[in-house]
Structure 1
């Protein structure tokens, strides 16, 4: 099926509609954004003398939404310039333009009648073959297209983005009964590769997968809160990271989602399921309705379960008491179990320790967990035929670290089922049959692949006679059997975890491993705590280069951690500084500089594939690579000034070099502006909000290729290495760097003077940026002088060492280690 999506139309410019349009623009897709025509003028429009017939008024809703995209935080756009790909319009004047697009997405109010009416208008302006989808969170896909033509139905499906569309990975694709399977396959691939989404195929049932399981989990937690007398603070202390969930836990999540929105989602399930037990669970607690009646809808109204109030010292967060409906100061939760759990690194071990504790907090965790597990098992086959799809929906849509069935494996399938049965709970038959067959988990690793529970048709059980066919049809059963099935692997994804189970590790220590990717390419994987760079990673980089030089075509630097690299090992550095072991610091920095310089000039191609937080030394590693293929959500920055230091692994040197490269072919051009930029970015510890912004800042080159799907990062990096090798790779040649010298440094220092006078930086910030200015300018040399890379590296190391000896720098490092945020001193 030859099909491409170059242009799309989004109908509905609210938060979700504009967010989807923004993410389409992020992916390079031109987008028409339509909304209704306003029925009255704003005071500003009236003052301009406009009328309801003016395009400015008629397109106001969509135009305002596009303008707002540039201001929203977190930013819906990778870069504000992407908004230029979105054209605002309205559904009275511009529906004919739907004939020119490849994909139409309906994102209007969650009302079946409204959606059906709109789709009727869409079909009147629909070009045969154009894909049409609804971004509903739970309304039936099949009911929406009742009355539409067969051709329209074949091209219609649900595409449920989760909010915010840019950041949440999950996209549920919901085929209708008559949706062309080829359309479903195409959209699944397109949304994954081009939009970077994690696609889960759901059945057309109330709230699909993510919101069905997620809403159930939230409701049973709310019911337990009121039944057992837990406070708001206690609920969120338990149902957050301790259970492998986001920091927003339960009630802060509801505040972000909106209490009114949550009630609507829960009510949709309540109204569309038939079982009384399930209806009871999806009955919204009365205090939630009371909160909405009072206007306490959460973050968007300024108060929900939490409320921020001003104080003399700034502000205080209060928590709601659901019994009195008053706000009270937050409680600090003291629990030996929670204290123990907080020290456990692994999610599986953490959850297991929590539910097996012996206090009321463990009881809450177990009660919520067991109900969620049993409900997920009961819904298998109804909302999805795959436990994998259910697990992925909860991880990608709700940021759970483990899905329901992965959680079940983590706490022990057999032990937990025995505990449930001892408490009088009913276990789904298929779970008992699976255990009875001798299985101890829903997932297992075997020969480098993941296998999962699956129900498959049992061909041997089919009796091809008329009697059997009639019986099977009458009771609506499909002969089936349970088995482990290999998790589907696409040809364009590489799993380091899988490769390691296949004994593909070439070298390893506690900080990093070298893994064979095949075809003559290897991957250097960081796996130290937070992927921070310390002695062990540097040692492994040295050994890696020896291996690559003698045995391989090239090197990928990537990992599957939460973040690519958060910078240097500050704990190790602070230890050296506290003991005044300056030779150890000098040796560490000198070795890191030499290692990255050697990496830059390695005889084989090096491609870095960063993702998420890529800070300090992580950026410097990327700067040394021949090419960087970052994940779109890469937040990069040379942030050392935040801990009282300057980049000393070649970061300053590389930025000075890249500034000089800009004017290399224009000897008379002024270099100063091109140095001012990195001086400002490093001096303010600027972190990009995306890989595209990292290009604008200068952390990445314009030629670096951004990858939309994180799952494709390592595969694409490997492809790039092989491509560079096939073209006859030649390593870069070291050249001298033109610098702005003492006169340029004076201008940089003048900037810090004005920043200090304006109160933008502290006195100590000025000392740090003074050292930064000395390095970027080339030190005490004339303007236009040519210096070597080693000369600038020596300036970096000298400045770094001197700052390590400063008490205020050590205070900043200590504060970052303890508080996780910079100290301004």
Structure 2
């Protein structure tokens, strides 16, 4: 069977979703054409102004839909009047126009003659019937049509729902799932063609339930958000802030879809789908949430105000940030699941009763609708994880808390009339395999009520690249912490290999410290890893399984050492860390960093000393030491100086200063690349490094890269001398810093730190072009680092960070 290749994509509709889907395609190096209506300029050579303005607007949006704003220009603008012929060159067409059935069907009739043979057509809709949409297509195109539902914002939200029609070809969803997973880095759930599919059906019903219960128990929006955010294992934005981010008009549309397509006969919860009065009021006032800068909340200066229905106006939140929940419920929510749910159900206060009510409603709704909206319980829980930022889906939490005991509590509330509807839980909840096994998720699969069996995971070749796929409670999959064969392990690091023969030849080093911070134990473990890899393995991969890659030096370990033994102890620690960084760089086998999440400070220094980097697209990389009053001390500045010399050597210029500018600015301002693409532009990644769209493919790709380098005859780089910019370049940088200090843009201590950075990058008091080695510059780093750690203002910054988690400016 020939492989389905996507060489070019067309996105139809340059609205908020369409333009951002196009942006993410560009992030993933997929050529894309963005279509919209023609401007009313008959005879104009190009009438694509609507699409052009949408592309330009992508550069202004926050959060940024583009990994690099400059790459907006890679999206080709087009319009339906002049450019439909371009569709013939597209392998995938994603329709993303407004949620109007008539408009979509009219557009399908217009584009159908131009869809290439073999190309797929998919509608990005949040809930319209895919079968009804397909009726507008010619018979030969229906087999290549399906629904595809990206969640907003498309770059950041993992979930994509795929929805087939009875006419959709059996291979179409497999092809699309493979592309969306591997190339776009998304996590796919296949949904049935029911109103709002899975995530929005469960999620919006849950948000409506939350709003109703909040009103019943008299809780303010800010208290509800505090209760329903991280404390409950959900997105930190809680309920009402999430609604503001999504857009209140979007939320109202999804609610209307429920109202228009369901009834009391098809959904027992139908009576609870009425649009809340507060939402009606906000919409009437034009307050649509974040997009209009006012919704349930509004920012006034630095303070947050919340909407008040009675006055139809905003009132200040407590402390300008929002009232917090009673801490007694915060403590309850930290208890193990069985104890937690019992405490909440028996709580007497309104906040506790509210929490139990929304959890009960979620269990009730998910159980009643599982058979109609999804193939199995796995799809529901994964959809809520990936689409609504929940740590656990409703079935996972229910199962962890004790399946039958929770079911009995929920049914008792239903019988007593406390629930939102009186329909009892389905029979399969209490009788049969689920009740007997204690939950819907088991090692052999997740419960499919329509077929009365535990349904295994769908296996596609693309998932062979995900060595440790995201799993659900009860599935019994081996986690990475205990997988494979351990070679060495202590409290700080684990050195291990996978068991598969084709991958066992690469040693994996997984840092175990909190936030994967680098202390003396980690340094020692990395040194041991290089020794083992050189003697027994084909390569070494630095991969710690979850986020972050590393937040850098372990400050909590550094300060006690300084207080006990003075600056000499710090000098010894830094010297050993620098030695290990060079040991990684000059190892006789390739060392590959597999980076996900934050790689800050020492974490950034760790990855730049590796032979190759495999980096998840959504990674955050930078040298941020100035935030705690320090400079990079483990070779980060040495790396910038060396790369500047290498780049200058490859150019026609002889002046090193222009090649140092970006690196100096990045280190002195603690600039962080907010995507792998941006980190490459900052110089922390090389053009040869590998950027991976899906986080769960990192380990596989890193091992393959290590093996490929070794098989190609890998040799470490030569230790060589390189020129530095010298005292004249340092004087130029200092002149700019003096202007910034005297102009009030930086503090005196910022000036002092930046001056030390300039001194290291330029090689100290030497002539321009002086040849140095890495050890020389690392010694300058170490001297500056140790002088700063003795400085009272740096000590204040370090203690401020340790106590508050926020940088102190002094």
- 1:780-791 matches, cutoff 5 A: 780-791=765-776
**Aligned-pair distance for 1:82?**
2.2
Q: Compared with structure 1, are the counterparts of its residues 2 and 533 closer, same or farther at alpha carbon in structure 2 (3 Å cutoff)?
A: same
Contact 2:444 2:454 in 1 (8 A): no
**Aligned-pair distance for 1:309?**
2.1
Q: Compared with structure 1, are the counterparts of its residues 232 and 668 closer, same or farther at alpha carbon in structure 2 (3 Å cutoff)?
A: closer
Contact 2:341 2:356 in 1 (8 A): no
**Aligned-pair distance for 1:355?**
7.0
| 1:113 counterpart = 2:102 | yes
Instruction: State which drifts further: 323-332 or 276-285.
Output: 323-332
| 1:433 counterpart = 2:436 | no
2:352 to 362, 366, 370: 362
**Aligned-pair distance for 1:234?**
1.3
Distance in 1 between residues matched to 2:530 and 2:399, nearest whole Å = 39
**Aligned-pair distance for 1:693?**
1.4
Q: Secondary structure at the match of 2:10?
A: strand
Distance in 1 between residues matched to 2:702 and 2:709, nearest whole Å = 11
Distance in 2 between residues matched to 1:363 and 1:533, nearest whole Å = 44
Distance in 1 between residues matched to 2:340 and 2:634, nearest whole Å = 36
1:547 to 532, 552, 557: 532
Q: Compared with structure 1, are the counterparts of its residues 563 and 500 closer, same or farther at alpha carbon in structure 2 (3 Å cutoff)?
A: closer
Deviations 1:327-349 (A, max 9, x none): 222133252324436878x9999
For residue 482 of structure 1, what is the aligned residue in structure 2? 453
Distance in 1 between residues matched to 2:112 and 2:613, nearest whole Å = 44
Count of aligned pairs between the two proteins? 781
2:447 to 446, 454, 479: 454
Contact 1:554 1:606 in 2 (8 A): yes
For residue 29 of structure 1, what is the aligned residue in structure 2? 30
1:384 to 352, 367, 374: 374
**Aligned-pair distance for 1:140?**
0.5
Deviations 1:160-196 (A, max 9, x none): 1111111111111111110111111101001111111
Deviations 1:82-108 (A, max 9, x none): 223211121122222212211111111
- 1:54-453 matches, cutoff 5 A: 54-55=44-45, 58-275=47-264, 277-310=268-301, 315-331=302-318, 332-333=323-324, 335-340=326-331, 359-424=349-414, 426-434=424-432, 438-443=436-441, 451-453=444-446
**Aligned-pair distance for 1:560?**
2.6
Contact 1:242 1:351 in 2 (8 A): no
Q: Compared with structure 1, are the counterparts of its residues 640 and 451 closer, same or farther at alpha carbon in structure 2 (3 Å cutoff)?
A: farther
Instruction: State which drifts further: 290-299 or 188-197.
Output: 290-299
Q: Secondary structure at the match of 2:29?
A: coil
**Aligned-pair distance for 1:822?**
2.2
Contact 1:351 1:410 in 2 (8 A): no
1:752 to 731, 737, 743: 737
2:495 to 514, 538, 549: 514
Distance in 2 between residues matched to 1:428 and 1:21, nearest whole Å = 42
**Aligned-pair distance for 1:297?**
1.8
- 1:622-661 matches, cutoff 5 A: 622-661=607-646
Instruction: State which drifts further: 540-549 or 363-372.
Output: 540-549
Contact 1:297 1:304 in 2 (8 A): yes
Distance in 2 between residues matched to 1:732 and 1:356, nearest whole Å = 66
Instruction: State which drifts further: 267-276 or 772-781.
Output: 267-276
For residue 12 of structure 2, what is the aligned residue in structure 1? 11
Unaligned 5+ segments in structure 1 are 40-50, 445-449, 457-477
Distance in 2 between residues matched to 1:235 and 1:812, nearest whole Å = 34
Distance in 2 between residues matched to 1:352 and 1:532, nearest whole Å = 37
Q: Secondary structure at the match of 2:655?
A: coil
**Aligned-pair distance for 1:377?**
2.0
Distance in 2 between residues matched to 1:415 and 1:536, nearest whole Å = 45
Deviations 1:638-668 (A, max 9, x none): 1111111111111111111111112335696
**Aligned-pair distance for 1:353?**
7.7
2:552 to 530, 547, 567: 567
Distance in 2 between residues matched to 1:356 and 1:557, nearest whole Å = 47
For residue 473 of structure 2, what is the aligned residue in structure 1? none
Distance in 2 between residues matched to 1:596 and 1:554, nearest whole Å = 16
Q: Compared with structure 1, are the counterparts of its residues 486 and 547 closer, same or farther at alpha carbon in structure 2 (3 Å cutoff)?
A: farther
Q: Secondary structure at the match of 1:381?
A: helix
Q: Compared with structure 1, are the counterparts of its residues 584 and 416 closer, same or farther at alpha carbon in structure 2 (3 Å cutoff)?
A: farther
Q: Secondary structure at the match of 1:376?
A: helix
Q: Compared with structure 1, are the counterparts of its residues 807 and 789 closer, same or farther at alpha carbon in structure 2 (3 Å cutoff)?
A: same
Distance in 2 between residues matched to 1:240 and 1:351, nearest whole Å = 17
Unaligned 5+ segments in structure 2 are 416-423, 470-477
Contact 2:108 2:136 in 1 (8 A): no
Distance in 1 between residues matched to 2:193 and 2:95, nearest whole Å = 17
**Aligned-pair distance for 1:795?**
1.0
Q: Compared with structure 1, are the counterparts of its residues 106 and 691 closer, same or farther at alpha carbon in structure 2 (3 Å cutoff)?
A: same
Q: Secondary structure at the match of 1:181?
A: coil
Distance in 2 between residues matched to 1:686 and 1:27, nearest whole Å = 23
The TM-score, its normalising length taken from structure 2, stands at: 0.92
Aligned-residue CA RMSD (Å): 2.4
